[in-house]
Amino acid sequence: MSQTTLNLVAVTIFAFVMTSLLGPLFHLSPFVPALAAGGLLGAATLDRFSFQGQMGDLVVDWFARFSPDYRARVLHHEAGHFLVAHLLGIPVTGYTLSAWQAFRQGQPGRGGVQFATEALNAELNQGQLPIPLIDRYCTVWMAGMAAETLVYGNAEGGADDRQKLRWLWHHLRRPDSEGALKERWATLQAKSLLQTHWLAYESLVEAMAQQRSVDACRLLLEQQVAQSGETA
């Protein structure tokens, strides 16, 4: 069950308990909160099994649209993914900055940066995965949280990114302790790349805020790196 769906269930249970306690004060029938809670829990269950939690993401995203700070965090988070992927030679195929944009484009979840994963999938299917390829993808996955931390001092997003790394480690049948070390290492690598290419990162944030195309963002990064003489 996605974290968003779990949060909705928790809110439903809390609302049910509070309504049950306060209902008699307002002469509210006990069947009302019970029916409401049942409906919300049923909707959450349907969302989980039929829509992979996307309806819950859309609800949360609708409320989040009124928070400029939340939208800015998402933007800086996704720009971190985009820049580090570009620097490490992993093609970016698209990006969205909200669950609604992702829904309209047929993408699952809350949206984000989409990468070309053919090389990763091909190696996984063969049962072997070169360490350099592992390092590149892990660094890209951790780049969103690294960007948030550099800009805001902490990271609020990134649960899905961590899940990807842990899934890969589980698929490789490697110890969880090694996965935790790899996560920390990849986060530090991503921070270093972002700090080294900070001007390019800030330009990318502005471009993505304007919803410029992937090709336009890529060209902008190439120009920034060339002008500064930076290399990945």
The domain limits of the chain are 3-51, 68-228
For residues 12 and 37, what is the distance between their CA atoms, to the nearest angstrom? 6
**Taking Cα atoms as reference points, which of 55, 58, 68, 161 lies closest to residue 112?**
161
CATH code for the part of the protein at 68-228: 1.20.58.760
DSSP letter for each residue of 115-143? E--HHHHHHHHTT---HHHHHHHHHHHHH
Q: Which of the given ranges, 55-59, 171-175, 221-225, has the highest pLDDT on average?
A: 221-225
Rg (CA), the chain: 21
For residues 202 and 8, what is the distance between their CA atoms, to the nearest angstrom? 34
pLDDT at 34: 57
Inter-CA distances, 182 with 83, 98, 122, 170, 190, Å:
20, 28, 22, 13, 12
pTM, two decimal places: 0.73
pLDDT tens digit sequence for 3-40: 445 455 555 555 555 555 555 655 556 555 555 555 55
pLDDT at 129: 79
Q: How confident is the model at residue 218 (pLDDT cuts 50, 70, 90)?
A: very high
Reported for 9-12, long-range contacts at CB under 8 A and 24+ positions apart, including other chains, are 9/41, 9/44, 12/37, 12/40, 12/41, 12/44
